[in-house]
Amino acid sequence: MKRFPRTQGLALLALLALAPAGGEAAEVVAREAWIREAPPVSQVLAGYLRLENRGATPASLVGAAGAAFGRVEIHETIMKDGQASMQAVKNLAIPPGGQISLEPGGLHLMLIAPQGPAPLKAGNQVPLTLAFDDGSRLEVTFEVHKTHQNAGEDPHQGHGPAAPESGTGPSDHDAAGHGGAAGH
């Protein structure tokens, strides 16, 4: 898989900082933000959370960034003929008074090219900035977990050998539809 330079991640953070004045995303609240721990060699992880729109107008998540990753994208897992594949999503609409869940086997944040000297381990806290279509931003701290009590089966699970407690068996990220040299 191609590595993305840290400068690309920093450039995206800079673009988020220059987004149109909209201030903080005061109407959107993030809950249960977590990242599944993966083997140290993994170049792609997945982030999950629940977003609640407490405002009177729709909100739309259009991007995310963080210094811990070269790139962050919004993706959706699609099951077809028993095979999981990933599809990029341009935005996630959250209706007024509604919520949307990013969870294993469904919508998620694709965390590409981890940056830093050490791999993420259970208990680490990772800040990400969520960007919305109105220019507002929301700082969210994700905690790294070995598993999540509501996780279910996750095509991103482990991005290599599965964690022993998952019970889902080996999983290969490229086989889940993200491409790469071994992709399908």
Q: Taking the domains of the chain in order of start, what are their residue ranges?
A: 6-149
Question: Can you tell me the distance from the alpha carbon of 22 to that of 18, in angstroms, rounded to the nearest whole number?
Answer: 11
Q: Are strands 28-36 and 137-145 parallel, antiparallel or unpaired?
A: parallel
pLDDT tens, position by position, 154-180: 444 433 333 333 333 333 333 344 433
Integer CA distances (angstroms), 90 to 68, 85, 87, in order: 22, 16, 10
Question: Can you tell me the distance from the alpha carbon of 50 to that of 31, in angstroms, rounded to the nearest whole number?
Answer: 5
- Torsion sign across C-alpha atoms 67, 31, 132, 47: positive
Phi, psi dihedrals of residue 166, rounded to the nearest 5°: -75, -35
What CATH architecture applies to the domain 6-149? Sandwich (2.60)
Q: Taking the model in full, what pTM does it have? A: 0.69
Q: Model confidence at 21, in pLDDT bands (50, 70, 90)?
A: very low
